[in-house]
Structure 1
């Protein structure tokens, strides 16, 4: 399956650390190429929704996440091949430092992904208060793993032309690597940040203007034409087919611009409608997750507790993460929606919620000593901390019977949150997961469920947790078969 697809040229934009400027540079290059009628397939390395959302907007097409912890290497390769087929070039934004992974071998690192996909790397160098040392750092990156092809560097956060000249001269003399761009320090207003990174593109009031600014910065300071030529001409070693015991291949990935009719491999009613809660408060969804539901015959209907009081006729609800804390007053004020959701939950409507969705299922969230009422489905009360309360990859074992996962299953996911549980009322069997990696809701437990409602801090990726979409569809079909529900 992998070998039958043509590999599209691509580039990995990497840095020496997180916060080095990779995202804005990736956005600018993507937008600049798109403005020149180059079709760009955007990808984000690692578990990330915010940067991926900006990349999707810059490219004008979905951005897919590539993660070798959440998914088997063969699945990551197949995803890259499938989702770049109709494009001229692929843009892969790395995360953290080039060689940073979860162990001494660099597992899950950006460098591992670059080798897996056989892509050249452009390294972003934050040159703040440094000149000749940048050449030494670059030389170290080049020699640390000779199999990584660093095809160029982009200098970032330069203090001026004199600073730029010194850094350029040292890199050209000692490293023999082309400097493809040099950026001055940029104003933060174009891409403001908050506790979980950049403000999302959905919430940014002038996101199109910010992308236009990033595009102009790239055109003014980066040789995007030369970068394109270097990426297109990169021969590489050919994409190897890997064999990974965790999973053999990607589920059917739709490479057409228009969705294909999904096949139905389940008994019962042929189609169900999944309500997906998506607005500026809840926007953390992997495209692969929604596509997995569609591929199994589901219709997707978007709903919003910010703008709707009634919940449309759906057979299940999927609530992703986001920022309910920044919309707490508006969510709390919409009592009609909260009451309707709670009533449907009590009638057995399958509800699956992650992180921000979990908070909304709880009783309240306290922000600056003000308590905002949430849906009240699960007996949880939340607050917000100034420091991350859970950050990184997770691994869970399913230890209790629940509506969505079989006991004994081991799932991989991730969590990133500043929220914390202030109080909870639960029994020994009310949480499905035992955390073998990560923090979860409380005491290394996660996956709080009641009736057919399930809330968890662990985000999953449908191509890695392949049981998730079929399980949600099966629950939706059971609910639909039970007959109409009258509130």
Structure 2
């Protein structure tokens, strides 16, 4: 097979820490380039759903995640190439600080990703109450790992012209790194935050207007042409071939997999949905907020999101919850992550009120003020379940504020041994009932390549059993 080369311009926007302004700068750049007529492929380093949702809205195309913990290097290079092939440029937003990773060596950091994809880095620096010290920060980042190409700096939260002038002079003199933008303190940018970060665009009352205002604020403060030239300096790399890119034999009759997609359930990696379709599934979008009964499907995928902020609406839709329980009792395969697990519990307490949920698992949840699980996880499968064989080790991430406030231990079976992370309770996760598997873990299809195939196989088996029996059958 002839080697393919990736030659697209690409850039990474990183920072000194979380809260540096990376997302604002990234969205500003996406807005500027898109409005100039360029096709921009957005990416996010790390396991993030909300930033990617804003990227997607701004760029007019899906944003994809690049994560060196969840994926192998070959998967990342393939993904970058595949999802930017039809674009003019790729923009990658980093996470946390440039060198922040899982350990003192910065393993799985944005810097590690930058070296892997051979992309120049633009540092976004919050300049609040600082001048020449900014040069020290930039110089430190430049010298810590000379394999990282720091090609420019965007100053953020600049108080006035004098501060900008002093910082610009000191950074360029002491480091040789050019200043590619200076974003002033902007009052009233309409990007609200809550417990998991930015308010998702699906729930933002004026998301398009927010991006319009951001574009106007960024247009005169970012040197987009200089950043473009920096991105264009990226060297080519050989695109590896990976398993998920190979053709898959599919059945003539596609099983229907329902996907909960509304403002309550928005956390899905595009690659996961694409993998299900590639293995032959027909995806059917379902809303637990609007639909009165569950439509006929052969399996369900319930992702994460914010069921707690929609708890009253979900609770009021009693007919839908009842129909879901009936189908589960008849053996419907269901795979649920995080918010999906909460929805399948008995109740959720949020804002001082308790709301009934689907009642599949005898578990009560409450949403606190601090994260209960936050970070990468490693789970080992040690019990029977519909989707993963015993011994399977899953790598994923968890990020939630949900606490298990009570459950009937004798009625809850778990099949995941938590090797890293918090999980459901007492070092366990992966709740199983009938053909349902639910956990706090979010997985990525490029990292867990068998998941989509097994999910579609379960749906196909259920479809076949139902057709043979003339009705929905027993658990598989």
- Which range, TM-score by smaller chain? over 0.9
- Unaligned regions of 5+ residues in structure 2, if any? none
Does residue 246 of structure 2 align to residue 264 of structure 1?
A: no
Does residue 281 of structure 2 align to residue 283 of structure 1?
A: no
Does residue 122 of structure 2 align to residue 122 of structure 1?
A: yes
**Whole-angstrom distance in 2 between the partners of 1:428 and 1:108:** 38
Aligned to 1:350: 333
**Whole-angstrom distance in 1 between the partners of 2:74 and 2:151:** 25
**Whole-angstrom distance in 2 between the partners of 1:459 and 1:163:** 43
Aligned to 1:239: 237
**Whole-angstrom distance in 2 between the partners of 1:444 and 1:340:** 32
Distance 1:342 1:81, change over 3 A: same
Aligned to 2:162: 162
Is 1:74–1:250's contact at 8 Å kept on the other side of the alignment? no
RMSD, matched Cα: 1.8
Which TM-score applies when normalising by structure 2? 0.95
**Whole-angstrom distance in 1 between the partners of 2:248 and 2:74:** 23
Does residue 416 of structure 2 align to residue 433 of structure 1?
A: yes
Aligned residue for 1:326, secondary structure, equals: coil
Aligned residue for 2:79, secondary structure, equals: helix
**Whole-angstrom distance in 2 between the partners of 1:291 and 1:241:** 20
Is 2:6–2:238's contact at 8 Å kept on the other side of the alignment? no
Deviation at 1:228, TM superposition (A): 1.0
Distance 1:476 1:452, change over 3 A: same
Encode CA deviations 1:16-59: one digit per residue, 9 max, x unaligned: 00111000110110111000111101100000000011001111
Does residue 365 of structure 2 align to residue 372 of structure 1?
A: no
Deviation at 1:235, TM superposition (A): 4.5
- Unaligned regions of 5+ residues in structure 1, if any? 243-247, 254-261
Deviation at 1:369, TM superposition (A): 3.2
Aligned to 1:332: 315
Would you say how many aligned residue pairs link Structure 1 and Structure 2?
470
Distance 1:421 1:338, change over 3 A: same
Does residue 67 of structure 2 align to residue 67 of structure 1?
A: yes
Deviation at 1:83, TM superposition (A): 0.8
Deviation at 1:3, TM superposition (A): 3.8
Is 2:118–2:234's contact at 8 Å kept on the other side of the alignment? no
Aligned residue for 1:190, secondary structure, equals: coil
**Whole-angstrom distance in 1 between the partners of 2:2 and 2:340:** 35
Aligned to 1:411: 394
Aligned to 1:476: 459
Deviation at 1:413, TM superposition (A): 0.3
Aligned residue for 1:275, secondary structure, equals: strand
Return the match for 1:251 from 244, 249, 264. Answer: 244
**Whole-angstrom distance in 1 between the partners of 2:387 and 2:315:** 28
Encode CA deviations 1:418-465: one digit per residue, 9 max, x unaligned: 011011123498111000000110011111010001110000001101
**Whole-angstrom distance in 2 between the partners of 1:96 and 1:250:** 31
Is 1:350–1:476's contact at 8 Å kept on the other side of the alignment? yes
Which TM-score applies when normalising by structure 1? 0.93
Aligned to 1:28: 28
Aligned to 2:57: 57
Aligned to 1:196: 196
Is 1:399–1:432's contact at 8 Å kept on the other side of the alignment? yes
**Whole-angstrom distance in 1 between the partners of 2:147 and 2:18:** 22
**Whole-angstrom distance in 1 between the partners of 2:306 and 2:122:** 32
**Whole-angstrom distance in 2 between the partners of 1:271 and 1:26:** 39
Deviation at 1:189, TM superposition (A): 4.6
Deviation at 1:264, TM superposition (A): 2.7
**Whole-angstrom distance in 1 between the partners of 2:33 and 2:3:** 28
Deviation at 1:312, TM superposition (A): 1.3
Does residue 425 of structure 2 align to residue 442 of structure 1?
A: yes
**Whole-angstrom distance in 1 between the partners of 2:134 and 2:90:** 27
Q: 5 Å matches for 1:302-341?
A: 302-341=285-324
Report runs of 4+ in structure 1 exceeding 6 Å deviation: none
Is 1:5–1:82's contact at 8 Å kept on the other side of the alignment? no
Aligned to 1:78: 78
